[in-house]
Amino acid sequence: MKDVIPDRKKIAPFLLFYILSTMQVGVGILGYQNFVSQFAGYDAWISVILSGLFIMGILYLIFKMLEIADGDLLDIHTYIFGRKLSKILTSIFILYYCLIVITIIRNYIEMVQVWMFPIIQVFWLALTILIMCIYIVKSGFRTIVGICFFSFLLPFVIAPVFLFTLPYADFSNMLPIMDHSIVDIIRGVKGMMFTITGFEMILFFYPFIKDPRTSRKWGYFSILATIILYLYLIVLTFAYFPPDQLVKNIWPTLTMWKIIRFPFIERFEYIGIAAWLLIILPNVCLSLWIASRLCKRIFKVSQKGSLYFIVLVCLVATSFLLTREQVTFVTDIAGQMSFYFIFVYIPFLFIATLIAKKVRNHGKGS
């Protein structure tokens, strides 16, 4: 049975632009250059462009599925597989978004530990972040969208400060172009997945958009804006770092901030790290909202109670990730799951939706 959303809880279609853009900019943007260049070298800027094109294609498939099923991912599963199997399949995404929450928070805490407060305890900082998220998520989906709107502005306001690297830039680092094979460049696209995931969350909040068909163009515009930001940053990074230096930097974006000096700010990267909490906050909040809402719809329990339980699980799991190797391992798992969810499961689901539609139409015709 579809969940009917009252109009007072819905959002305007244009706000989809801010939601998807915010979801695609998180802790990954601070170090994605290193990770992607491991596969495609300094041709990785091509991987960024290709990832944008692929994502627009996947977003098109998502919009078509949502239109056919007239609901969210649970309704798509029900449309294809029936009510019982759909609940089993959709419940997997509760665990998936719990993993996303754990990965985002732990990566941010690691950055704080390395750059600002080495002895800060993971538990207490994670608890502080999750308490803020509980307050926001309990206020409802429209409040989360409001946080997304304000968080969207921050990366684009900070972006011009990277032009401070131009006096030290050498764009010949990127030559020769196409020095790597197509396979390596595609592997670079795969390496981008955890960084630019988030757009697929529309599968869960689509019913909360007023006149959702008119929101499609805003979804595509958001992907375009995000890819332009990532492309701008990776080109400046490659021009600033020679290849042998980039390999040694876990967070190239933060390293570039170190050269920025203002008369009133000595360590700009401290400002950037603190401000980045406002950018990851909507990512964590929307992931928690999705997981708790799925619990409500699948298991018929209170969303508020589900939220408390999910936050507790995420807090405990985050506290057990103490070493860099553990954080990298969990991040790799999240990245692999994101890749297969986006590039394997969604196309499969799209084909299954078309088949189910054809079977239903054939049955009606008979």
Alpha helices in 214-320 (DSSP H): 216-240, 243-246, 252-257, 268-299, 303-319
Identify the band that residue 196 occupies on the pLDDT scale cut at 50, 70 and 90.
Answer: confident
**In the chain, what percentage of residues exceed pLDDT 90?**
43
Mean pLDDT within 59-73: 92
Q: What is the pLDDT of residues 292-315, one digit of tens each?
A: 999 999 998 999 999 999 999 999
Please give the Cα distance from 330 to 337 (Å, whole number): 11
Mean pLDDT within 217-238: 91
Q: What letter does residue 5 receive in the DSSP assignment?
A: P
Q: What letter does residue 265 receive in the DSSP assignment?
A: B
Cβ–Cβ < 8 Å for 191, 39: yes
Please give the Cα distance from 141 to 286 (Å, whole number): 8
Q: In DSSP terms, which residues pair with 11 in a beta bridge? A: 209
Which bin fits 197, alpha (ψ -120 to 50), beta or left (φ > 0)?
Answer: beta
pLDDT at residue 82, as a whole number: 87
Residue 33 has pLDDT above 60, yes or no: yes
Query: What is the average pLDDT score of the chain?
Result: 88
User: 261: how many CB neighbours lie within 10 A of its CB?
Assistant: 10
Taking the domains of the chain in order of start, what are their residue ranges?
Answer: 11-331
Dihedral sign, CA of 301, 305, 306, 312?
Answer: negative
Mean pLDDT within 65-89: 91
Residue 202 has pLDDT above 60, yes or no: yes
Q: What is the pLDDT of residues 261-277, one digit of tens each?
A: 777 667 777 777 888 88
Residue 239 has pLDDT above 80, yes or no: yes
pLDDT at residue 2, as a whole number: 62
Q: What is the pLDDT of residues 131-158, one digit of tens each?
A: 999 999 999 999 999 998 888 888 777 7
Q: Tell me which residue has tokens 């020095």.
A: 179
Tell me, rounded to whole angstroms, the distance of Cα 140 from its chain centroid. Answer: 20
DSSP string covering 165-207, please?
A: GGGG--GGGGPSTT-S-HHHHHHHHHHTHHHHTTGGGHHHHGG
pLDDT at residue 152, as a whole number: 84
Residue 250 has pLDDT above 70, yes or no: yes
What is 11-331's CATH number?
1.20.1740.10
28: its two tokens:
């990954």
Cβ–Cβ < 8 Å for 16, 217: no
Mean pLDDT within 37-47: 86
Reported pTM: 0.92
pLDDT at residue 364, as a whole number: 66
Alpha helices in 116-140 (DSSP H): 122-138
